[in-house]
Structure 1
Amino acid sequence: MKPLNTKAKLVAGWTILMTVIGTAILHQWQFFALGCASLALILVANQYGLIKDNTDQTKK
């Protein structure tokens, strides 16, 4: 698995934060499941290089 770039780390951190806060406030496991699904999609997108960071200097 590729390491997370800066933008992917930011997106994953924000998603985790909102998932924890939303689940704690709303007490709904559907919110938690949606957060987990979002994290899985973030990891897949990072693996295929779909999350671009402005500081990335890689050219294809």
Structure 2
Amino acid sequence: MAWPSAGIDRCVWQSNVIEYFKGMADEAGVPYQSLINLYLRDCIAQNRKVQIQWPKAA
């Protein structure tokens, strides 16, 4: 499946995030970059919101 080209952006990921997606990508037989893109597209399609609880200041 070809996705429309939207340009190239750079992201800085923590190594544990990349390793997580690389492991899942190996199991699925797809490039990890494609898996990250599919996951993010699914977040958009499902209108998911990030839930963050910041620690309270002391």
Higher relative contact order (CA 8 A, sep 6+): 1
Larger Rg: 2
- What is the TM-score of this pair, normalised by structure 2? 0.33
Which is helix-richer, 1 or 2? 1
